[in-house]
Structures are given as C-alpha cells and as structure tokens.
Amino acid sequence: MKVDCVDVPKGRVVEVSGRLDTLTAPGFESSALALLGDGIGAMVIDLSELEYISSAGLRSILAVAKKASTDGTTVSLCAMKGVVEEVFSISGFDSFLPVYSTRDEALEAM
C-alpha cells in the first residue's frame, strides 16, 4: 500500500494504491490523519489505484472521515473500480460518504 498527497486549491487529494487491509490500514489511517492536521477544507481520497480493500480498510477510512468532520473538513472518495467499488456498495459506505466517479468530479465538488 502506498499513500501520496497532492495539494489542490481547495484542499488535498490523498492517492491510495495497492491493498488496504489488516496489515496496511493502520499506516493509511495515521498518514491520512496527519494530513488532516493542517486544517484543510476538503480531502478527496482517490482510490483509482487501490486493488483491494478489507473491513479493516473500511474502518480506517471511516475513522479518517469521522475525525475530519470534527475538524470541519469534508472527505469524499473517487475513482473506485472493480472489487473496491463493489465492497463500498455492499457495505453501504457509499450511502454516507460522497463518492464520485472521477477525480475531476470530486475536485469540482470541493
């Protein structure tokens, strides 16, 4: 799993690639929470390169979204595909977190 960050005018894009599972979720969570610490207005989590997500990965995204909301930061997700998109749909996460088909759509909504 790899986490990269790109600053954009209205916030920050966090790019996640590889697998987000029991072994990697804690690293993602700590990295994403540290990126929230700068008082950004919005965070887009780009999942276009994520190959797999487990329940531990879902929990870590939820933890980041909860912390962000207490800080006044909005979190949205974008560019899910394949099994990752299916897991979000089945779990219902896409019903309470904003999800966009593309990164451009997510950036426009910031």
Structure confidence by residue, pLDDT tens digits, 1-25: 999 999 999 999 999 999 999 999 9
Taking the C-alpha atoms of residue 37 and residue 98, their distance in angstroms, rounded to an integer, is: 21
Q: Which of 33-37, 44-48, 58-62, 106-110 has the lowest average pLDDT? A: 33-37
What letter represents residue 82's amino acid?
Answer: G
Classify residue 94 by its DSSP letter.
G
Whole-angstrom Cα distance, residue 16 to residue 102?
14
pLDDT(39) > 90: no
pLDDT value of residue 38: 66
Can you give the pLDDT at residue 71?
86
What are the C-alpha distances in Å from 65 to residues 72, 82? 10, 22
User: Cα separation of 93 and 59, whole Å?
Assistant: 10
Q: CA-CA distance, 31 to 33, in Å (whole number)? A: 6
